[in-house]
Structures are given as structure tokens and as C-alpha cells.
A = this chain, B = another copy of it.
Amino acid sequence: MIEAKEFSERRNRLQEEIKELGLDAFLISQPESIYYYTGATYKPQERPFLITIWPQRDPTFLVPKLEKDHIHKANIGDVKSYWEFPSPPGEGWPEKLDEILQGVKTLGIEQGISLENQSCLKVKKLKPLDIVNRQRHIKTPAEIKMIRQSASYADKLMAMMLKNAYYGVSVLEMFGLGRKIQMEVIKSGEFDPLNCEFLSATWPSRFSHMPHGVPPLDGKLTNGPLAFMSYLRVNGYASENERTVFLTKPTEREKDVFNHMRAARQKAFDIIKPGVPCAEVDKAALGYLRKQGYGEFLLHRTGHGIGQGNHEGPWVADGSEHILEENMVISVEPGIYIPDLGGFRHSDTVLVTKDGYEVLTKGSTEIEDLTLLKPKFMKRIIGRLIQKALNIA
């Protein structure tokens, strides 16, 4: 887990930026940012948590009264509270924050704040700034350790999915596997339910060309290409590992599309290193696919940043202004989606290193290793029982 010292170092770095920008204060309002600077998790509902970062003194943390007693884990000395949402006059967060911000003329705010909450701020000069997201782009050694651990769980879950798959397996059987990894994380002794997610999802071939559609749980996996996704958040840190899988022998056409998908990935990997614009990585991968005639079968960019969030900057997309730097973590996942055939996409969690990159999720990307033809009698029998119990046999 991340130590208290690191959270205060993170806040210090933000403080330095605020000094340089000449702000009187900066307001942290987004749940992921609250976690980034304190380690405190909560269910973001209508009661905001707010941290004021000052250029010259310790931060002030404003939370609902309900949360005050357990927020000691945030390790911020000055915790103030407001009554409720809503509150009688003088007791709500806008008034309490106004007291805290007395004398502040220029206040930096996060761009993710809602219009509703922003309209409650009484400071005259508000400056929406992207500095928190930019700080989060570069991962610290402790964060890389957390993402590495998350990625190793993602690999285990993918291996488990490949091991349990057979011709005719239900989507539901695969969906249940995430729980086994969850139990392993619980056993490890560190598990914050508000900060963990274990998703093992599969798409049958007639759905795999719609990578964001929700496949029916009683659907079955038969002919490929099938999409297998291991998508985790382990105590705050995300990772993803996806593979295109076959449960029957792939046709020549399927092999062909598969190979082009892998080649597009390679085009991205070939240029990933610090100093390269993210837009160039996207153009390398998707440009290759367009040149090969797959332009009409592209549905999304090459990748995105991974950290506390499963999706965050830097965006590996045409139109992105981000430049790769050492210790950024991104996904690499160009995909081809053909309506009458299916979707073809591998995704990996990738660390940008000093000279290039390191793939944190392991496991084969080869079609031979992802074509699973073995009979697996026991899995079939157990699966059949599960399917019968659920009336989907």
C-alpha cells in the first residue's frame, strides 16, 4: 500500500505548482483526486469532500460530519466538517468552505467539478486547471509497484479464463472467475471494497464486434473470435489484459485479421518511448490498419493512461496533446471490428521506461496459444451443471 509519507509528498508537489502559478489556493474536489492526495476512499454521492491546498501552509480538509471520525487515515492535520447535504443556513459545505477560503482572491479548481458545486463557490476569480491530472500522469515508484501487482492479478485472471474456457461455455461461468481473484486479494490482507474491482468478461463472436455492448450472461462462447477481458482495480490501482480467443480452428480470413491486429500493436510498440507524442503512437497503429484496408472497421483509439483510474490521461489518440514520458502507464489496444465476423483486439498494460517500454501484463499474444481446442471434460460437466441450475443449458 502507499505510505502516508508519499501522500504528503504528493500534496507538497501540488503546493509547489500552486506557488509557481501565483494562486492563493487550489481546491481538490474529485473523488479520485481525494484518494490520490490522501488515500481516503468514500462513495462519491451528494456530500462532497474538499481539500484546500495553500501555497504556504498545511492543507485544510472539509468533509461531512458523518465521515469525520474515520477520516484520520487521510493523515491531514486540519480536518473540518460540515453538517449535511442539504443543511440549514450556515451549516452546509458552501458556507463552511467560504469560511476556510476567507481572503482568497484567486482559486484554482479542478475541471471535473460539477457546474452545481462550482456555482456554490463564492471566490470571485476561479481558475480551472488541469494540474492534478498532469501530476497523476507520471507514476511514482510506489504507484508502479501497485500497478505491477494489479497487472499480475490481471494475468492470473486471464490465465484462469483461458484454462476454464471450452466450446459452449456460458458468459456467466467466465463472469464468476473474477471472484476467485477477489478472494486472493482479500486473503493477502489488504482489500478496500470501495477501491477494488475484479471484472472477467467475455463477448461471444456475434457480440465481440461491439466491445462496449453488455453481452447477455446466458450467452455461450462457441466459434471465435471471442473477446476475453481481465479488467481490474486492486486497492486503487488499475490494469487490463485482453485477448482475442478461438474455441474452434480459426479460418484463414480470421488468421489474416488477427495478424493485422498484432502487426498494428507492433507498430505502436516500435515507437513507444519518452518524448514521442501520444498522437503519433495512435497514428502508427491505426494508420497501419487504414493502409491495410481496415479503416471502416476501426471503433476507437490505440489506448489510454492507466493508474488509479482504468481510463485516464495520457490519451493515446489522434488529437491528444500528451507526450510520452518515463513512468507513464498506458494501454496498447488497437482493434478491428467486423460486423459479420467479430472483434479482434489484445490489450496490455504498458509502462513507459527510460529507453522504451515494459509490458506489465504478460502472457502469449500468439494465435496458436489462444486457440483452445482441448476437450476439458471436467470443465464441461461442471459447466453443464451450472448452466442447468440457471436454466440456460
Contact = CB atoms under 8 A, between A and B. Distances in A.
Interface of A: 41-43, 45-46, 64-67, 69-70, 84-89, 91-92, 109, 111-116, 118-119, 128, 172, 175, 179, 186-187, 189, 191-194, 209-214, 217-218, 299-301, 304, 310-311, 315, 317-321, 339, 389-391
Given A45-B311, A46-B315, A187-B391, 8 more contacts: A46-B304, A66-B212, A85-B315, A91-B319, A115-B115, A172-B186, A189-B218, A193-B217
Binding site of A, secondary structure by majority: helix, strand, loop or mixed?
A: loop
A324 to B, nearest CB: 15
A87 B301 CA distance: 9
Nearest to A179: B179
A301 B315 CA distance: 41
Contacts of A217: 186, 191, 193
Residue of A84, A91, A111, A317 contacting most chain B CB atoms (<10 Å): A84
Given A84-B300, A111-B116, A113-B114, A193 B175 contact: yes
17 contacts: A45-B310, A45-B311, A46-B311, A66-B212, A70-B210, A85-B315, A86-B319, A86-B320, A86-B321, A87-B317, A87-B318, A114-B114, A179-B179, A186-B390, A192-B214, A193-B217, A194-B214
